[in-house]
Amino acid sequence: MSNALKLARLLQVLRSGEQLAAQTALQQSQMAPLPWMSRALAAQAAQERSHATIAATALTLIGERHSAVNVMQPLYQRLGLDLDTGNLADTMLGLQGVVEHLGEALLEVLGAHAHPAGAVLHALHEKVLRQERGHLLLGTRCLQTLRTSTHQRDVIEEYRILGQTTAISVATLLDDARLNAHAFWAIVDARLSDWQAHALRH
């Protein structure tokens, strides 16, 4: 697989994840019971849209037209179900927990690519990591404010399974020797476990 195709697939995954995050955070902001929470989630949605735009710009620079499989589809479906049923706290576990950790780990594992679009990818890397870490903290604050119930631990495990499936699909899609599927998931899972310990503290 060429470096251009590999980078294009990475950016397609990132763009898809950021689009999912933007859509979800916007709906979360509309469901939020408190003004500060609504404002913070609306701000997150705007940031996620800007991340998707940067990824799309990099894809244009690459000029690679290959269409990758949407490996985010299982997470799209589950988040959509929780949004439709008004489970705000559950969506926090899916988006601010699993999706954010997947994106952060993917950017850090792959690093910069030697390609004309590499500068754009680097900008995406720096901007996303800085803002996504703020989104993780926001998710924790929101969950603690919402006073999540004990069933949330079952929900995070369900999202964890979807996250693992997605991580393996990403690694397989990229066909990159630097991205062992199970090692990649181990990185995501370790971060998710640490976040869960704080977010679901009672």
Binned at pLDDT 50, 70 and 90, residue 22 comes out as very high
**CA-closest candidate to residue 41, choices 108, 33, 178, 102:** 33
Q: What's the pLDDT at 112?
A: 47
Report which DSSP code applies to 178.
Answer: T
**pLDDT for 59:** 81
- HSE-CB for 116 with a 13 A CA cutoff: 7
CATH number (domain holding residue 114): 1.20.1260.10
Read off the pTM: 0.85
Mean pLDDT for 109-130 is: 61
- Of 35, 141, 20, nearest to 82 by C-alpha is 20
The boundaries of the domain holding residue 72 are 3-199
Average pLDDT over residues 166-183: 74
197 or 92, greater pLDDT: 92
**Number of structural domains, the chain?**
1
Can you give the length of the chain in residues?
Answer: 202
